[in-house]
Amino acid sequence: MAIHCLRAVPKIPHLSNPKITVSHSLFFSSNSKPKRVFSPIRASMSYEKELAAAKKAASVAARLCQKVQQALLQSDVHSKSDKSPVTVADYGSQALVSFVLEREFPSESFSLVAEEDSGDLRIDSGRETLERITTLVNDTLANSDSYNDANLTTKDVLRAIDNGKSEGGSCGRHWVLDPIDGTKGFLRGGQYAIALALLDEGKVVLGVLACPNLPLASISGENQHTSHDKIGCLFFAKLGAGTFMQPLDGSSPLKVHVSATENPEDASLFESYEAAHSLHGLSSTIAKKLGVKAPPVRIDSQAKYGALSRGDGAIYLRFPHKGYREKIWDHAAGCIVVTEAGGVVTDAVGNPLDFSKGRYLDLEGGIIVANQKLMPSLLKAVKESLEEERASSL
Ligand code: AMP
Ligand code: MG
């Protein structure tokens, strides 16, 4: 059954595209109370202003992250209750993106689904860290072109971080943010991404991935990398408009496409660097069955989606350990970046990912990504490998 959303009409004038068609259908139940008032937006939306704001927000946040990574001090590493490392950069990045989006869309009701919350910063032992984050946020804004007039207090920073508590869902608009995806890569000096997407009526309509450490040149197996390679990529995609990449420090965007490889023997396969995040043994079984020759390329974060969107690799496999629930901010931006570049992103049985269910993704088994040509044989190899694994565990 289709679920329709109540959308407040006064919101419409603030949207970036003034030519929006709103269709209303009003139903009345037997006690004559309005049952639903719907206004699904059907006209083609440009999301131009939203994309520009998302690019700005992710780029500003990336600058803060780069600064912190360069001077990463042991004291910047804290421990959340789930023991994953979290740094001042995670909080600072979230505060900045939240600040920029609110500044760019001041009169819209603002909803942000993001990874961090300010709980640990509000207690006495978090005071010093909060001050450090506030200084970093203000220094970054002071060096930006558009927001150098801003001066946030510690209270402003806490509020900006806590904007991210939204539950998301299938109605209205929600920004979705991972302020630093791949925190472990960030701490290792490896790959990480600032991942920002916009959901409209439960669908991802735009996505931006800032990948400060990703070389602009391909990271495919054949390429030999040197410390002289230029790094820092910004990928962005809008529904129906393709995917583009530009250097994080500016210059013109290039349209990118996923690999056109039809032969799995030529395909290179991406997976998580962290074995705790994805079953490397299962990926290896699938790769063998499929005929993939090259060893897997293991990198952290949604930089994998970015690199796939420009054809550096042809397949991405992600099979979390039993019981793990994927979060929407770990895949929303990456998913549209790959699909707009011509790729396909599904769960392990071929269903598209559904970002409309709140903060979590409910999916079967894992996430697989490939081009359209490779997908049928990949799905078959995944199915057979999962069946064999089940049979061997009986
Ligand atoms: P990756 O860098 O691709 O390994 O993914 C990084 C993301 O994995 C992090 O942002 C976490 O949200 C997520 N993550 C954390 N723990 C797990 C887990 N046990 N299984 C799968 N993903 C996880
Ligand atoms: Mg993440």
| Local structure of residue 365 (DSSP, 8 states) | S
Cα 26 to Cα 121: distance, rounded to the nearest angstrom: 46
Q: Which residues contact 273 (CB under 8 A, 6 or more apart)?
A: 184, 185, 190, 191, 298, 299, 300
Say whether 339 is catalytic.
no
Residue nearest to atom 12 of ligand 1 (CA): 330
pLDDT band of residue 292 (cuts 50, 70, 90) is: very high
Q: Is 285 noted as a catalytic residue in this protein?
A: no
Determine the pLDDT at residue 107: 77
- Give ligand 1 pocket residues (Cβ under 6 A): 181-182, 185, 272, 274, 276-277, 300-301, 320-321, 324, 327, 330
Q: What DSSP string describes 290-310?
A: HT--SPPEE--STHHHHHHHT
The secondary element (H helix, E strand) that includes residue 347 is: strand 343-347
**Rounded mean pLDDT, 357-366:** 94
Instruction: Using the mean position of ligand 2's atoms as its centre, give its distance from the Cα of residue 23 in Å.
Output: 37
**Residue 301 Cα: closest atom of ligand 1:** 2
What does DSSP assign to residue 133? H
User: Is the overall model pTM greater than 0.85, yes or no?
Assistant: yes
Instruction: Report the pLDDT averaged over residues 274-278.
Output: 97
Mean pLDDT of 32-49: 54
Instruction: Band the pLDDT of 229: cuts 50, 70, 90.
Output: confident
Instruction: Identify the nearest ligand to the CA of 303 by its number.
Output: 1
The residues near 324 (Cβ < 8 Å, ≥ 6 apart) are none
Residue tagged active-site, from 87, 140, 183, 243: 183
Question: One of 76, 90, 178, 300 is an active-site residue; which one?
Answer: 90
Bridging pattern class, strands 343-347 and 367-371: antiparallel
Average pLDDT over residues 16-32: 33
Nearest ligand 1 atom to alpha carbon 178: 10
Phi-psi region of 358 (alpha: psi -120 to 50; beta: other; left: phi over 0): left
What is the tally of helices (H) and strands (E) in the chain? 10, 16
Please list all protein residues whose beta carbon sits less than 5 angstroms from ligand 2, which is an ion. Answer: 178, 181, 330
Tell which residue, 284, 299, 358, 349, has the closest CA to residue 328. Answer: 358
**Which residue, 81, 85, 83, is CA-closest to 68?**
85
